[in-house]
Amino acid sequence: MTNTAPPGGGTAPRENPLPEPLTIGVDVGGTRIKAGLVAGDGSLRATRVRDSPGDSAEAVAQAVVDVVGDLRSAAGDTEVAGVGVAAAGFVDHAEGVVLFAPHLPWREEPLRDRLSALLDLPVGVDNDANAAAWAEHRFGAGRGQDEMVMITLGTGLGGAHLAGGRLQRGRHGLAGEYGHMVVVPDGRDCPCGRRGCWEQYASGTALRRAGRAALATGGASAEALLGACGGMASRLQGEHVTRAALAGDLLSVGLLAETGRWLGLGLANLAAALDPACVVVGGGVIEGGELVLGPAREALTAGVPGAGRWPVPEVRSAALGNSAGLIGAADLVRTSGRPTPAGGPTPP
Amino acid sequence: MTNTAPPGGGTAPRENPLPEPLTIGVDVGGTRIKAGLVAGDGSLRATRVRDSPGDSAEAVAQAVVDVVGDLRSAAGDTEVAGVGVAAAGFVDHAEGVVLFAPHLPWREEPLRDRLSALLDLPVGVDNDANAAAWAEHRFGAGRGQDEMVMITLGTGLGGAHLAGGRLQRGRHGLAGEYGHMVVVPDGRDCPCGRRGCWEQYASGTALRRAGRAALATGGASAEALLGACGGMASRLQGEHVTRAALAGDLLSVGLLAETGRWLGLGLANLAAALDPACVVVGGGVIEGGELVLGPAREALTAGVPGAGRWPVPEVRSAALGNSAGLIGAADLVRTSGRPTPAGGPTPP
């Protein structure tokens, strides 16, 4: 449970000018709560993981309080300066309110105030994709990139945008919900109530759906993929497709490429809208590495406007894995999202 | 040619704390060059219009130099502090280079440096939609709106975004090319080389195409529209449809509503990505007023994610008409795009 290595290996700064005070980051997802004690260089001093209680907002808050208390004990005599929460939902950052979370019992949930009343520490609440983007920008694949888009390909497709080295949150802190941009009018149903949302074509869920559809068609070409999920198509998950593809299964390679092309098509739209220098892609689906990112780059390059004159943004794989959300949340409460916080590492 | 009234009527500030020095704004479009002598409150002290020379970059530059000289003479003894150019193309703002312009002889054109060498004045170059957005934010429909998207529905669909009261230009100054976001995969051909771009569904060109298609179908319902273009379908322009709609022609009302719905669909995507408080829509197509904006608001409201919990941005009609680009370019060179420039009007 405890990890003293800096995240992202060589991408994290080796020097640590002002590691303390520590802050605590808590990433509250629909399935798990991941929490960590984070130093000023982004390194994790201790981590905790537990299941998310699904029954009530009170139970989720209590679980966060429990894990924070546990990590404060782990900090011993070292000061803990605040708690940053990364929440999987539509977050009004300024008010600290989760407007809506598809996989958690949060509706207009005043999470910051609820936690502040239970904890004797400053609390900040941010969208999980914003927190992950901030972590990658500060300590991971986006270091030195002030004009950056982050895409998280997990169950859904989350996103965030930095301009001038600052998170762009929009009027209510809701910016970056790229997964719910419609890419196919009247396309596939989305749990958000609309049809044709980007995340229905580029996400772990989309990959799983495509994999199950391929198994339903059957034939000899599906044998490796069927083996990957123990012979039961209804158990197939996106990660089975990724694993089979990495082992050389051509059907699965094709499914990852299709996901990558949809990723690239949407990235071309974001390039036209935002003109980022760099796109960092994280989330479980990029375990497939270049099998996803290669086709994504091709579709992005073909998809930007301007007849070959548009500068195509670089596409990078995220470096911090599934700790990015909690590291970013902890650093956001420490730095308030300033581009070069006092005592923080100097960008390269 | 000369207009001493402040732009946008009552929306422009009546007080004028520091009207001087004046700056010159030049809006270089594919058809016309519009230029004006602009005071610190956004009011126009003199204007000039001439045709755009289509033959060479040198000829365009000379035309700008001529019109600037003319306006400097009009300024008399009053100091002119700089020239701002709004260019219809992909503009690298930091370098002052127009990378590409579909309707002008500009390819990697170093417009700022070329003009600086010919003029004894500071020169700034910006995208025309950025300039128009800045003008609407400072003096028009977007006053007091720091989180604002501007959409210009003309021949194409241009756009710009302000966050924290600043233009968001992206890494190369290219941000805001919303018209080339793909809304229909493998959809209608776009001159940019791609298919299904938003501006092929929401723009004056799209409205013209829809109108001509309706005339080709013919029938009694097309009579009013056919009359509006003098009985020749091949002469039909978007403004004929707008005029017929405003006169009550139901076929034309339907065509404007279709354009509005496509506008709203794309605005919902931008709302998910950017979370603006306000969208200002300008360009010739909004002469149709609520016949376009009403259906756009409906589609936007139905299209935002979050099952009714997402705050829908307000949609407003632009206030400065086709002077917005030159007023914004002049003010950008005066203020360098600072949110509350010294001597400028105080936002309400």
Same fold, B9-138+322-335 and B145-203+252-318: yes
What average pLDDT does range A89-102 have in this prediction? 87
Q: What is the strand order of the sheet A166-167 is part of?
A: A166-167, A157-163, A148-153, A278-282, A314-317
Residues of A in contact with B178 (CB under 8 A): 272-273
d(CA A321, CA A10): 14
From A306's Cα to the closest Cα of chain B, the distance in A is 6
Distance from CA of B129 to the nearest CA of A (A): 13
Q: Which of A33-37, A226-230, B195-199, B255-259 has the lowest mean pLDDT?
A: A226-230
Write the DSSP symbol of residue A347: P
- For the segment B272-309, what is each residue's pLDDT rounded down to a tens digit? 999 999 999 999 999 999 999 999 999 999 999 876 77
- How do the domains of chain A map onto residue ranges? 9-138+322-335, 145-203+252-318
Burial class for A5, CB neighbours closer than 10 Å (0-12, 13-18, 19+): exposed
DSSP state, A38? E
Of B100, B159, B273, the CB nearest to A307: B100
- Min Cα separation A221/chain B (Å): 28
Interchain CB contact of B268 with A (< 8 Å):
yes
- Of residues B184, B204, B207, the one with CA closest to residue B196: B184
Reference A246, options A195, A286, A202; nearest CA is A286
Q: How far does the CA of residue B94 sit from the closest CA of chain A (Å)?
A: 13
* Chain A contact for B306 (CB, 8 A cutoff): yes
Mode of pairing for the β-strands spanning A314-317 and A278-282: parallel
- For residue A272, give the nearest of B171, B181, B309 by CB distance: B181
For the purposes of burial, counting CB atoms within 10 Å of the CB of B278, is it exposed (0-12), middle (13-18) or buried (19 or more)?
A: buried
Measured CA distances, A160 to A139, A171, A322, B51, B224 (Å): 16, 14, 16, 43, 49
Closest to A12 measured CA to CA, from A313, A279, A324: A324
Which burial class, exposed, middle or buried, applies to A120 when counting CB atoms under 10 A from its CB (0-12, 13-18, 19+)? exposed
Question: CA of A209: how far to CAs of A205, A213, A224, A226, A239, in Å?
Answer: 6, 6, 17, 14, 12
Question: Kindly report the CA angle at B209 between B206 and B210, in degrees rounded to 5?
Answer: 85
CA distance B109 to chain A (A): 12
- What is the radius of gyration, based on Cα positions, of chain B? 20
The whole-angstrom separation of Cα B154 and Cα B194 is 19
Scanning every residue of chain A, which has its alpha carbon at the shortest distance from the alpha carbon of B91?
A310
CB contact under 8 A, A182 and B269: yes
Using the Cα atoms of residue A278, residue A284, residue A290 and residue A291 in order, give the sign of their dihedral: negative
d(CA B190, CA B156): 10
CA pseudo-torsion sign B38, B88, A168, B200: positive
Look at A177 and B273 and tell me if their CB atoms are within 8 Å. Answer: yes
Is the pLDDT at A17 greater than 60, yes or no? no
Selected residue with higher pLDDT from B219 and A215? A215
Contact A311 B171 (CB under 8 A): yes
Q: Summarize pLDDT for A117-158 with one digit per residue, the tens.
A: 999 899 999 999 999 999 999 999 999 999 999 999 988 899
ipTM of model: 0.87
Amino acid at B135: A
Q: Which chain A residues are Cβ-neighbours of B107 within 8 angstroms?
A: 309
Are B313 and B276 in contact by the 8 Å Cβ rule? The answer is yes
Q: Which residue has the tokens 């949150």?
A: A169
Say which of A147, A183, A310 has its CB closest to residue B185: A183
pLDDT in tens, A303-335: 998 767 789 999 999 999 999 999 999 999 998
Q: Centre a 10 Å sphere on the Cβ of residue B3 and count the other Cβ atoms it contains.
A: 13
Q: How far is A139 from chain B (nearest CA, A)?
A: 21
**A233 or A150: which leads in pLDDT:** A150
Q: What b/e sequence results for B225-248 when a residue is b if at least 16 CB atoms lie within 10 Å of its CB, and e otherwise?
A: bbebbeeebeebbbbbbbbbbeee
What is the structure's pLDDT at B338? 73
B170:A303 CB<8 A: no
CB contact under 8 A, B178 and A90: no
Residues of chain B contacting residue A100, judged by C-beta atoms under 8 Å apart = 306-307, 309
Peptide bond into A21 cis (omega under 30): yes
B189 contacts: CB under 8 Å, gap ≥ 6: B195, B200
Q: Which fold has domain B9-138+322-335?
A: Nucleotidyltransferase; domain 5 (3.30.420)
pLDDT the model gives residue A308: 76
Q: Which among B108, B307, B311 has the least Cβ separation from residue A172?
A: B311
- Judge: B171–A107 Cβ closer than 8 Å, yes or no: no
Q: Please, which contacts does A100-103 make with residues 24 or more away whose CB atoms are closer than 8 Å?
A: A100/B306, A100/B307, A100/B309, A101/A30, A102/A30, A102/A191, A102/A192, A103/A29, A103/A30, A103/A31, A103/A155
Reading the block at residue A249, the tokens are 């299964």
The CB density around residue B185, as the number of other CB atoms within 10 Å, is 15
Which residue of A181, A183, A189, A301 to mutate against B (max B Cβ within 10 Å)?
Answer: A181
Taking the CA atoms of chain A, what radius of gyration do you get in angstroms?
20
Confidence of residue A256 (pLDDT cuts 50, 70, 90): very high
**CB-nearest partner of A272 from B173, B178, B272:** B178
Least CA distance to B269: which residue of chain A?
A181
Residues of A with Cβ-Cβ distance to B305 under 8 angstroms:
90, 177, 180, 192-194, 197
Q: Which residues contact residue B20 at a Cβ distance below 8 angstroms, ignoring those fewer than 6 apart?
A: B39, B40, B78, B79
* Preceding peptide of B21 cis, ω within 30°: yes
Structural tokens at position B184? 């229909």
Q: Cα B64 to chain center, whole Å?
A: 19
pLDDT tens-digit map of B11-63 = 444 344 456 789 999 999 888 999 999 999 999 999 999 999 978 999 999 99
Q: Do B311 and A274 touch (CB under 8 A)?
A: no
Cross-strand partners of B166: B163
Q: Mention every residue, 6+ apart, whose C-beta is less than 8 A from residue B143.
A: B11, B137, B347, B348
Question: Which chain B positions have a beta carbon within 8 Å of A310's beta carbon?
Answer: 90, 99, 174
pLDDT digits (tens, 9 = 90+) for B289-298: 999 999 999 9
Tell me, what DSSP letter sits at residue B52? P
Between positions 128 and 187 of A, the ones with CB within 8 A of B are 147, 159, 161, 163, 168-178, 180-185
Which residues have C-beta within 8 Å of that of residue A312, sequence separation ≥ 6?
A: A271, A297, A300, A301, A304
Q: Do A170 and B192 touch (CB under 8 A)?
A: no
pLDDT, mean over chain B: 89
The residue among A123, A125, A121 whose CA lies nearest residue A99 is A125
Q: Give the number of other CB atoms < 10 A from CB of residue B9.
A: 9
A253 has a pLDDT exceeding 90 = yes
Burial class (CB in 10 A: 0-12, 13-18, 19+), A15: exposed
The percentage of chain B sitting over the pLDDT mark of 90, rounded to a whole number, equals 72
Burial zone of A217 (CB within 10 Å; 0-12 exposed, 13-18 middle, 19+ buried)? exposed
Please, what sign has the CA dihedral across residues A180, A184, A187, A188?
A: negative
Q: How many CB atoms lie within 10 A of CB B24?
A: 33
CA distance to partner chain B, nearest, from residue A68 (Å): 30
Buried/exposed A282-295: b ≥16 CB within 10 Å, e otherwise: bbbbbbbeebbbbb
Residue B150 has pLDDT above 70, yes or no: yes
pLDDT of the residue at A344? 43
Give per-residue pLDDT as tens, B106-127: 889 999 999 999 998 999 999 9
Class of A145-203+252-318 in CATH: alpha beta
> How close A17 gets to chain B, by Cα (Å)?
30
Q: Which residues of A touch B303 (CB under 8 A)?
A: 182, 194
Task: Tell me the two tokens of residue B229.
Answer: 């273009």
Task: Pick the residue of B269, B301, B314, B338 with the most A CBs within 10 A to test the interface with A by mutation.
Answer: B269
